[in-house]
Structure 1
Amino acid sequence: MNIFVGSLPFNVEEADLREYFEEYGEVSSVKIITDKFTGRSKGFGFVEMPSDEFAQKAIDELNGAKIDGRAIVVNKSEPKPEGERKSFNRNGGNNRGGFNRERDNSRSRY
């Protein structure tokens, strides 16, 4: 089962997160998401556990647990359906083309 872990303190590393979850069973993988420019943690990640039973127990017991004084959020990760990601628009955000819009000359300011 793939598990989402949010509200992580920025100093938590993948090895630390693996240790927390290994108390509940085998952990296949751990990935803390980082900013691609700075390399700094974004404060969330994913843990993969092969046993759904152990994964659910980890979710139940770790959701709301405190790490370095912060209550973490732990729940089953659901994949985003295709097409739900927002596209990046380089034209200023409104898909109207931005700079080359034709001007309405029927109304003049002068």
Structure 2
Amino acid sequence: MNIFVGSLPFSIDEADLRESFEVYGAVNSVKIISDKFTGRSKGFGFVEMENDTEAEKAIQELNGATVSGRTIVVNKSEPKPEGERRSFNNNRSGGGYNGGGNRGRY
């Protein structure tokens, strides 16, 4: 099960996050999301656990827990529906921000 972890302190690293979840069972992967320009944590991440029962227990017990003075949010990660993804080219008439750019100029 993929688990979302939000409101993380910026000082926490993936090893610390893994350790918090391993108390409840085997952890397949841990990923803290960072800003691609600065490399600084964005304050959220994802933990993948193999066993759904163990994952549910981790969610129940860690949601609302305090980590380094911050109350974290922990819940099951649900993929975004395709229609909610951000796109600069939502129309089918061409590229760019104005739907094709050169229409009507010739």
Same fold (TM over 0.5): yes
- Structure 2 residue 10 is matched with structure 1 residue 37: no
Q: Percent identical across equivalent pairs?
A: 76
Residue 80 of structure 1: CA displacement?
1.1
Alignment of 1:50-69 (within 5 A): 50-69=50-69
Greater C-alpha Rg: 1
Residue 96 of structure 1: CA displacement?
4.2
| Partner Cα separation in structure 2 for residue 96 and residue 27 of structure 1 | 46
> Which string of whole-angstrom CA distances, capped at 9 and with x for unpartnered residues, describes residues 40-96 of structure 1?
00000000000000000000000000000100000000011223211147xxxxx44
Please, what TM-score do these two structures have when normalized by structure 1? Answer: 0.80
Alignment of 1:8-23 (within 5 A): 8-23=8-23
Residue 28 of structure 1: SS of its match in structure 2?
strand
Instruction: State the aligned residue count.
Output: 95
In structure 2, stretches of 5+ residues that fail to align are: 90-96
In structure 1, stretches of 5+ residues that fail to align are: 90-94, 103-110
Please, what TM-score do these two structures have when normalized by structure 2? Answer: 0.83
Please provide the CA RMSD for this pair: 1.8
- Residue type at the aligned position of 2:79: P
Residue 27 of structure 2: SS of its match in structure 1?
coil
Structure 1 runs, 4 residues or longer, greater than 6 Å off:
none
Residue 27 of structure 1: CA displacement?
0.2
